Structures are given as structure tokens and as C-alpha cells.
Amino acid sequence: MEGERDEIKKGPWKAEEDEVLINHVNKYGPRDWSSIRSKGLLQRTGKSCRLRWVNKLRPNLKNGCKFSSEEERLVIELQAQFGNKWARIATYLPGRTDNDVKNFWSSRQKRLARILQTPPSSSPSSSQSHKNPGEVPFLHDFPTLEVPTFSASMEEDLSSKSSYFDNSEMIKLVGLPDMVEPNLPALETNLFQLQFNHADQKSPCMESQSQFPFPHLPQPQPALTLSPESQELVARLDDPNFFDVFGDRDVSQELGNGAQLPVEPTFFELESCKSCGKRKENPMTPDSFFDDFPTDMFDHMEPLPSPSEW
């Protein structure tokens, strides 16, 4: 039985603990984390101390500040390039930690998964409204496929997301039964790249939104090629019927209000970070481009042909 003095404290940090940690860093610098406990300053592990410092106490952190559109774009591009190398990606985002990036990506993936998932027909009490009840369910009833061979970059991308999507989940999300490369994140990345390329060419809005200097990114790898099926899917972005793939749900509700067409760069409203902590009060700020489709763009869509005809 160890005395209370030797017990390791876990859980949320108190202000007093933060203070002790900050004092330690001021004295000795951000190192020797284990000595904090060995000196009896805190009952936290060195690991915990380091994490606290890196994620919350370090100066110049954008704590509580939602990712700007520029940051979102960067994360998406960098993730496509580096995979889930959050620490590396975070180095491109001043004031953001690997944990921030990781959390951003994780919640984003969950949201996408939810959006792309067809509501189970067995849940009529689902919170989704149904404008066209009984319409073609797009994303279910597909057989679970083995993950096929990908290009190198795609393999990495896919394997690195194993915790987010298992194979069958991935297939479901992509919803392309005979798609050779059922890689949603990669596909999404391509969609984004299309958008941003589009924006760069057509709109001055994006420029005006780049209000702070981000490092120049290495060129995205051309290995992110899509299968013909994927390319067709991407090409359908300009097709007003494209989002019929979401089936009969009232997607617009899920996608949020104030949305605009993705090809118009104005869908990214750069959120000010000056008053961090108010982020919830800016519903116009998108988390992803999916949030920025117009709420009524799904109102006049016709069902796509059955996926088997794609």
C-alpha cells in the first residue's frame, strides 16, 4: 500500500497545479517533466505535465478558438500528404497542437461519416426529416468488400485511418459498390482540392481571407489519383443532382444553415480569433465544406440511378 503522497493524480487540472507547472517551466524550461513529481511539486506524471504544458499552458496557443477556414484547408491538404502525422501537421499551424489537429480531424470524420450514412430504415423515429419517404436508399445494402489494393499514398492514408473506419464502414461511407478505391478521406481531399483550385482561379475572396501567413505547402502528391468511378463522382459535384447520394434525408438540415455552393469560395467565412471563447456564437463558420451547401440545394434533387448503374 502506497501512501497518498505516492499516488498519481489524474483527471482535470486545477489552476493551482497549472501554476506550479508554469513556475517549473519558467525556472527550468519545458523539460525534466518527471522531476516535477520527484520533487514533490505535483502528483502528476511527467507525461501528464508535459501534455498539459504542450496542449494548454504553452504560450501563443489558440485555445478555444475554432479552426479557421484556412486552417481547415491546411489540415486537409497536409493530412492528405502526410497521413495522420498530427504533430507534423501542427507545425504548419501556429498556435495549434497535435491534439487540436487530431480532435479537429476526428470530429470532422465523424461528422462526414454521419452525413454520408444513410439513415437506417428501421428507425422511423429518427431525428432526420424525410422529404421523400421511401426513396432510394443509397448507402446501405452494399456488400462489405475487402479493401482492394491502393496506390502507395492511398494505402497509407487508409491504414492510418483504421481507427476511424473499418473496411466495411469505409465502403458504406463511400457508397460505391464497385469503386476500386473506396477511400473516403482521399476522395474528400480531392473534392477539397478541386474546390480550392477552383476558388484560387476564380475568386478573389479566398485571397482576402488569407489574412495571416501560412507556410507554403509542399505540392500535394499526384499519387492521389482517383479511380474512374471516383473521378466521375468528383465530376458530379457540379451536377445539381449530385447530392441525391444522400438519399431521402433532409440533408440540408444536417449541413447547417447559411451554406453556399462549394464552388463559391465565399462559403468560407474567416472567423476572427480575437475573441476566442465565443466560437459557438458564430454558426456561420463552417467546419467543413459540407456545412456550406445551401440549405435548399437538396430540395429539388432527383434521385440518381441505382449505384449499380454507375
Partner DNA sequence: AAGATATTCAACCGCAATCAA
Partner DNA sequence: TTTGATTGCGGTTGAATATCT
Residues that bind DNA (CB under 7 A): 9-13, 30-35, 38, 44, 46-48, 50-52, 55-56, 63-64, 66, 84-88, 98-100, 102-104, 106-108, 110-111, 114, 127-129, 160-164, 253, 279-280, 283, 287
Looking at beta carbons only, is 194 or 276 nearer to DNA?
276
Looking at beta carbons only, is 10 or 216 nearer to DNA?
10
Looking at beta carbons only, is 4 or 309 nearer to DNA?
4
Looking at beta carbons only, is 263 or 273 nearer to DNA?
273
Looking at beta carbons only, is 94 or 177 nearer to DNA?
94
Q: State which amino acid sits at residue 130.
A: H
- CA separation for the pair 28, 25 (Å, rounded): 5
Least CB distance to DNA at residue 199 (A): 22
Cell of 197: 483550385
Least CB distance to DNA at residue 215 (A): 16
Cell of 15: 489552476
Cα–Cα distances in angstroms (integers) from residue 98 to residues 25, 52, 94, 159, 265, in the given order: 20, 13, 11, 19, 27
- CA separation for the pair 289, 52 (Å, rounded): 32
Least CB distance to DNA at residue 290 (A): 10
Dihedral sign from CA coordinates of 197, 198, 203, 205 = negative
Cell 449541413 belongs to 255
Least CB distance to DNA at residue 160 (A): 5
Cα dihedral 277/281/284/285 (nearest 10): 10
- CA separation for the pair 84, 92 (Å, rounded): 14
Least CB distance to DNA at residue 308 (A): 28
Least CB distance to DNA at residue 47 (A): 5
Looking at beta carbons only, is 84 or 227 nearer to DNA?
84
Q: How far apart are the first and last CA of the chain?
A: 66
